[in-house]
Amino acid sequence: MAIHGEWILFTLMTIWCVESKYMVYNTTSKIVPGKLNVHLVAHTHDDVGWLKTVDQYYVGSNNSIQGACVQNVLDSIVPALLADKNRKFIYVEQAFFQRWWRDQSETVQEIVKQLINSGQLELINGGMCMHDEAAPHYIDMIDQTTLGHRFIKQEFNITPRIGWQIDPFGHSAVQAYLLSAEVGFDSLFFARIDYQDRAKRKDEKSLEVVWRGSKSLGSSAQIFAGAFPENYEPPNNFYYEVNDDSPIVQDDMELFDYNVPERVNEFVAAALSQANITRTNHVMWTMGTDFKYQYAHTWFRQMDKFIHYVNQDGRVNALYSTPSIYTDAKYATNKAWPLKTDDYFPYADIINAYWTGYFTSRPALKGYVRTMSAYYLAARQLEFFKGKSKSGPNTDYLADALALAQHHDAVSGTSKQHVANDYAKRLSIGYEKAAKVVETSLASITRSSSKTDSGSPVTKFQQCLLLNISYCPASEVDLSNGKNLVVVVYNSLGWKREDIVRIPVIDENVIVKDHGGNEIKSQLLPLQKASLAIRNYYSMAYLGKSPSVTPKYWLAFSASAPPLGFNTYFISSRKRKETTIAAPSKNHVVYGSKGKQKDVIKVGPGNLKLVYSANQPKLIGYISSRNMIKESVRQSYSFYSGATDKQQASGAYIFRPNGTYSTKPDDQASFTVLRGPILDEVHQRINSWIYQVTRVYKDKEYAEFEFTVGPIPINDGIGKEVVTQISTPMKTNKTFYTDSSGRDFLERIRDYRKDWTLDVNQPVAGNYYPINLGMYMKDDNKELSVLVDRSVGGASIKDGQLELMLHRRLLQDDGRGVAEALNETVCVLNKCSGLTVVGKYYLKIDPLGEGAKWRRSFGQEIYSPFLLAFTEQEGNGWTNSHISSFSGMDPSYVLPDNVAMITLEELNDGKLLLRFAHLYEVEEDKDLSVMASVQLQKIFAHNKIIKVTEMSLSANQGRAEMEKKRLVWKVEGSSEEAPEVVRGGPVDPATLVVELAPMEIRTFVIDFE
């Protein structure tokens, strides 16, 4: 070793002697007051899946698609930063960082920790991915951010300071106030805002604002937010990846092409031009873009030279910086900033290019993500009741898969098909593992220690993920041999709840009993041909086999379950009275028979009636005798044909309609009404590729629309974007309301933007907004709300009308990089056809001012449907040997109507992570927009709480600590204080009562005895 060392020393000395002109660049510059400071922020934007899968991007495989290897990026950053301690770098996507971290030796890990401690390497944003802001639900945004922040806290004891949403295609109010301010960020940066908005903001130097995203939380949850002048890349001619062709700084006088003065001039010119549209003497240059810094040295070598020569020149001051340093510099100027409210949707990058198609792109993936999101929430509750297993199975894999799925090319629907498949595969593996947690937890809870002798076998529960295609082997069983089908109905909400359970059965002679042994009302609905066709095709496609039996009926019954608990129901064989089978009503089975029928058909066994005209036949009216509402309502389907012209086609991102067409009934159209004591169903075959079931329940005040859309025909060579419209004569004055990431409702006005005078070039696409929870419109005396079961796009193109885009199939790429047409197919035995999507939306009309109750409480029920688990039992002994009713909470307690528990999760150290969300905004509901209180000790009836610590939203720091550090930004034009915002007070350790003000979400870590 010694000889080796001497040799290196000798060699180095030789180099120094011969190459005496070794150049030391002065990169020490800091902020210089009084000069224009150019903050060079070295960064890489690493999509957690897009053209390649997350793992392909990490290891650098599949390079024929895109030469990208994140492992190279992180590997090359370390020596580049070590080479000069003034150099800085930020890293964002934790899904990649964690993969890399696991691969490193302890030595490298130690070096990286030092780089992080010194501020040379800064982890910002810090979620597993850079989530999309249109398609994810706020609960998923919180979960994926928490996961990334937890890792950063554990490994580095760091809390990220900066929001960095540089690529998502428009920005949600929830991102600003919840996922930025409430996680303790000091600022939020992004690139994509509407081109018209950007132009005006450049003019007015208002790209940087104080963004107040929530009416309810106001200035208490505002954030400094900066939109970049163009995009998240360097200025033109300053790209320095190995094979980029921007001119390098050639400063060796002995070589040809010496160009230092030219390059310095160009640098200064670009800086001054940015300064012209920016307040204060600080501008940020985002030095990097997608998957750059695979050979970090090339970037840093050029930046070293620029900093050296530009500062020698002295007109401007260039420095290595980070968004944190930049933010602190902005803050130190003590300036007041323009106020921004609401959000940055929709986004158009150029004329006629509205990125509003992705609100709906890949609707099946969107539905899958939402289903898994709710399942993850419920599974973590059951995991806690049982006790989390570190070695598995546990919910960790599902957590990771869901986190990846929130990426801005995942649930957004803008990845290549093989990547979309990868997200779905991860969700599927995660589900399998979480399902085991659910099944073993239910087996352990139902197996009461007092009731069961220890020798009895553990119950094997089954679940039915494919109920949406009428496929449930667990319930499609023969009960004629005297067996009982045991159905455990678990409710993950904090309220007691009743809902209709529907499961496929093979025999009509079945009855349902509750756990008291009483037969309860049930109803059979014949399984329609349309459902069977989907069931058979998709079970072949997904499972590779045809179902062995064919169910004949849906069995529907009303189930109730206590909060965070379950009730058990028993299905057994017995001849039932025929009247409980919903039979097609004779009068209106067939479509098209003229003249003989009554003029109208009223549907609905309870207070709500839907009225259909018998001749057409179609929906014409909505009558609620309970609310005294009578409204003319029409519902229809139509499609936009996707533009295909070269200038701008409709595609995965962009919605560009080229004409609209109503769906014409063809010879397959049919109309059938099924009536029963629990619900009525209207089956409509709209045309050969749209089928709809409308359900009106006896005890529910809303109508449920289940649509089956697809395969969308393309044999005419035209891509189609399928929408449904709800039309009324309501005078809505161009105004409607859509939710922000499933939370606050924002007012939308057709052909209008609050922030600038809109030049309307796409009257349809430019009026579309992302819908996660729902949308509504109102007139002088009522409001009409539509709620959805997944994220979709929605609009109100005409007064009195709401429109949802349900599915899209397109034949052209829209030129934003994905380089594939959005043409989803499903294959059986190498024969492929267009994807069919089954989904639901819900409709209710309320007297003005009363709609929020339904949107909020029922919205939570849509998000968290009952979780069903099945097992079979010989004879009737279940209730003697098992616990058949359970609540995780004190049986006398329920959460207040305006509060949802959005997280209950056992952490690896045995502590509990708990989150409550107030569901109402200020002034949204006269009764429920008030302070709510939750009694913690009643929620944990079975555990003794010894400590409650309130945390930031992502639970990586104490709330109080976060508040202490918060930067208080000034808002332009408001000399007086902003109105006082009400928030819940501190939790008294004696009473353990948690207060929640409207729209407040509070996060706690709980220690149990």
* Cβ atoms < 10 Å from Cβ of 79: 11
DSSP string, 440-457: HHHHHHHS-TTTS-TTSP
Contact positions with Zn ion (CB under 5 A) in 43-102: 47
Choose between 69 and 845: whose C-beta lies nearer to Zn ion.
69
Give residues with Cβ within 8 angstroms of 874, minimum separation 6: 482, 483, 484
Q: Which stretch binds Zn ion (CB under 5 A): 54-62, 95-103, 160-168, 758-766?
A: 160-168
Choose between 70 and 696: whose C-beta lies nearer to Zn ion.
70
Distance CA 742, CA 859 (A): 9
Q: Taking the complex as a whole, how short is the minimal distance between the CB of residue 168 and Zn ion, in angstroms?
A: 8
List beta partners, residue 785: 776, 844
Choose between 167 and 824: whose C-beta lies nearer to Zn ion.
167
Choose between 384 and 423: whose C-beta lies nearer to Zn ion.
423
DSSP annotation of 247 reads: P
CA 829 to each of CA 543, 714, 835: distance values in angstroms, whole numbers, following the listed order:
12, 21, 15
Binding mask 109-148 for Zn ion (x = CB under 5 A): ----------------------------------------
Q: Which stretch binds Zn ion (CB under 5 A): 161-169, 192-200, 452-460, 684-692?
A: 161-169
Choose between 69 and 620: whose C-beta lies nearer to Zn ion.
69
Q: Which stretch binds Zn ion (CB under 5 A): 162-170, 272-280, 372-380, 574-582?
A: 162-170
Choose between 128 and 561: whose C-beta lies nearer to Zn ion.
128
Choose between 291 and 612: whose C-beta lies nearer to Zn ion.
291
Among 122, 132, 143, 167, binds Zn ion (CB under 5 A): 167
Q: Are 54 and 404 in contact (CB under 8 A)?
A: yes
Q: Taking the complex as a whole, how short is the minimal distance between the CB of residue 428 and Zn ion, in angstroms?
A: 24
Q: Which stretch binds Zn ion (CB under 5 A): 10-18, 154-162, 164-172, 267-275?
A: 164-172
Distance CA 138, CA 167 (A): 18
CA neighbor of 135 nearest in space, from 364, 377, 459, 476:
364
Backbone φ and ψ of 219, nearest 5°: -70, -15
Distance CA 970, CA 210 (A): 8
* Cβ atoms < 10 Å from Cβ of 341: 18
Reported as half-sphere exposure (CB side, CA atoms, 13 A), residue 547 has a value of 23
What kind and span of H or E run contains 431? Answer: helix 417-446
Q: Taking the complex as a whole, how short is the minimal distance between the CB of residue 410 and Zn ion, in angstroms?
A: 10
734 phi-psi bin (left φ>0, alpha ψ -120 to 50, beta other) = left
Choose between 167 and 422: whose C-beta lies nearer to Zn ion.
167
Choose between 47 and 681: whose C-beta lies nearer to Zn ion.
47
CA neighbor of 224 nearest in space, from 744, 960, 968:
968
Q: Is 489 strand, coil or helix?
A: strand
Choose between 140 and 167: whose C-beta lies nearer to Zn ion.
167
Residues that contact Zn ion, how many (by CB under 5 A):
2
- Which amino acid is located at 395 in the chain? T
Give the pairing of strands 825-828 and 774-778. unpaired
CA neighbor of 217 nearest in space, from 994, 853, 929, 970:
929
Choose between 47 and 422: whose C-beta lies nearer to Zn ion.
47
Distance CA 639, CA 709 (A): 11
Cα dihedral sign, 968-969-970-972: negative
Distance CA 980, CA 975 (A): 14
Task: Please give the residue whose beta carbon sits closest to Zn ion in the complex.
Answer: 167
Q: Are 15 and 56 in contact (CB under 8 A)?
A: no
Choose between 46 and 476: whose C-beta lies nearer to Zn ion.
46
Q: Taking the complex as a whole, how short is the minimal distance between the CB of residue 695 and Zn ion, in angstroms?
A: 40
Contact positions with Zn ion (CB under 5 A) in 35-54: 47
Choose between 357 and 604: whose C-beta lies nearer to Zn ion.
357
Choose between 167 and 304: whose C-beta lies nearer to Zn ion.
167
Distance CA 97, CA 44 (A): 12
Q: Taking the complex as a whole, how short is the minimal distance between the CB of residue 290 and Zn ion, in angstroms?
A: 7
Reported as half-sphere exposure (CB side, CA atoms, 13 A), residue 558 has a value of 12
- Which amino acid is located at 403 in the chain? A
Distance CA 872, CA 487 (A): 9
DSSP annotation of 549 reads: S
Q: Taking the complex as a whole, how short is the minimal distance between the CB of residue 132 and Zn ion, in angstroms?
A: 9
Choose between 47 and 721: whose C-beta lies nearer to Zn ion.
47
Q: Taking the complex as a whole, how short is the minimal distance between the CB of residue 883 and Zn ion, in angstroms?
A: 49
Choose between 349 and 897: whose C-beta lies nearer to Zn ion.
349
In the sheet that 774-778 helps form, which strands lie side by side, from edge to edge? 670-674, 679-687, 690-697, 703-709, 837-847, 782-788, 774-778, 735-739, 745-749
Q: Taking the complex as a whole, how short is the minimal distance between the CB of residue 367 and Zn ion, in angstroms?
A: 23
Choose between 87 and 131: whose C-beta lies nearer to Zn ion.
131
Give residues with Cβ within 8 angstroms of 411, minimum separation 6: 132, 135, 136, 365, 366, 369, 405, 423, 791
What kind and span of H or E run contains 661? Answer: strand 657-662
DSSP string, 254-292: TSS---HHHHHHHHHHHHHHHHTTSSSSEEEEEE--BT-
906 touches Zn ion by CB under 5 A: no
Choose between 67 and 729: whose C-beta lies nearer to Zn ion.
67
Q: Are 611 and 621 in contact (CB under 8 A)?
A: yes
Q: Are 470 and 504 in contact (CB under 8 A)?
A: yes
Q: Taking the complex as a whole, how short is the minimal distance between the CB of residue 190 and Zn ion, in angstroms?
A: 12
Q: Taking the complex as a whole, how short is the minimal distance between the CB of residue 62 and Zn ion, in angstroms?
A: 17
Q: Taking the complex as a whole, how short is the minimal distance between the CB of residue 167 and Zn ion, in angstroms?
A: 3
Q: Taking the complex as a whole, how short is the minimal distance between the CB of residue 652 and Zn ion, in angstroms?
A: 13
Q: Taking the complex as a whole, how short is the minimal distance between the CB of residue 104 and Zn ion, in angstroms?
A: 25
Q: Taking the complex as a whole, how short is the minimal distance between the CB of residue 166 and Zn ion, in angstroms?
A: 8
Q: Taking the complex as a whole, how short is the minimal distance between the CB of residue 556 and Zn ion, in angstroms?
A: 44
Cα angle: 328, vertex 120, 127; to 5 degrees: 75
- Give the binding site for Zn ion (CB under 5 A): 47, 167
